[in-house]
Structure formats: C-alpha cells, structure tokens
Amino acid sequence: MPNVMTQDAVSLLKADHREAEDLFKKYETAKDAGKTAEKHEIARKVCAALLIHMEIEENIFYPAARGATGDDDKLNEAEVEHSGAKELIMQLGDLKPEDPMFDAKVKVLSEQIEHHVDEEENELFPEVEDSDLDLDDLGEQMADAKAALQEQHGM
C-alpha cells in the first residue's frame, strides 16, 4: 500500500521553504513586539530547520540533480549560497539574543535564503522536473534522512 505521507522531492523541499519563510515572519513579529525570548527561540528553530534542509539537499538532492541535469554552474552556485548561510548561522549561534547584531544577522540570513529559494524554485526545480529523475523515490530517501536528522537534533 502506498504511503499517503510520501512527498516527491520537490514538494518536500518547497514545504521546507514555506516553513522557513513562516518562521522568519514570526521572528519579525516577535521582534516588533519586543519579545526577546520568543524571538531567540524562533531563531534557534529556523536555524536548525535550515541546517537540516541544506544537509538533505547537499547529500541527496543536489548530487541527484547534478547527475540528471548536468547543470554544474547552478549547483555550484547553490552550494556557495549554502556555505554563506551556514556561516551566518554559526555566527548567530555564538551571539546572545540581546546582542545588537542579532537582528541584523537574522535579517540578512532571511534575505539570503529568500534569494536562494527563489533560484531553486524558479530555475533548478523546473530543470529537475524536466529530467528523468525519479522524484518520488528521491523524496522518500530525503524524508527518511530528514527524520533521522530531526531526531539527532532533538526536534
């Protein structure tokens, strides 16, 4: 019997993107309301979710996409964007939420992610969907890897 929860690879990644966007919006709301503890908790959540998302892309989705599309330029660029995001996430991990740079770093991270997501969804994913990659099978592998990483991160 097919698992009704199974998502194809692209749908899974898009759902992660929407979740990150939603958390960045909630961060702004908490920030505007002066809720520092809540803000910090949201930042912690979005950073953990992004790290897991990038890991399943880098370990599973990107190599498969590279093989299927041969678009090395786009995938190299995506990997460089991931390292930029990881660098900011590392810096945020070292900062106290009351640090004056905390909001600025979250803001820049959200802008970088917005740009990256835009390129993935409008350029990379359509190419992958046009290729002969089995996106259902890939989605299943990614969902398993995501669940294992979430458990590892205590999520």
Residues that bind Fe ion (CB under 5 A): 13, 57, 120
Least Cβ distance, residue 118 to Fe ion (angstroms): 10
Quick one: which H or E segment has residue 109? helix 102-119
Q: Closest Cα partner for 49 from 81, 77, 12?
A: 12
**Cβ 67 vs Cβ 34: under 8 Å:** no
Least Cβ distance, residue 121 to Fe ion (angstroms): 8
Give 113: exposed, middle or buried? Use CB within 10 Å, 0-12, 13-18, 19+: buried
Least Cβ distance, residue 132 to Fe ion (angstroms): 21
Q: Return the number of the residue (60 or 106) whose C-beta is nearest Fe ion.
A: 60
Q: Return the number of the residue (30 or 89) whose C-beta is nearest Fe ion.
A: 89
Q: Which residue is nearest to Fe ion (CB)?
A: 57
Q: Return the number of the residue (57 or 140) whose C-beta is nearest Fe ion.
A: 57
- DSSP state letters, 12-58: HHHHHHHHHHHHHHHHHHHHHTT-HHHHHHHHHHHHHHHHHHHHHII
Least Cβ distance, residue 37 to Fe ion (angstroms): 29
Q: What are phi and psi of 71, to 5 degrees?
A: -90, 75
Q: Return the number of the residue (38 or 123) whose C-beta is nearest Fe ion.
A: 123
Least Cβ distance, residue 71 to Fe ion (angstroms): 14
Q: Return the number of the residue (33 or 67) whose C-beta is nearest Fe ion.
A: 67
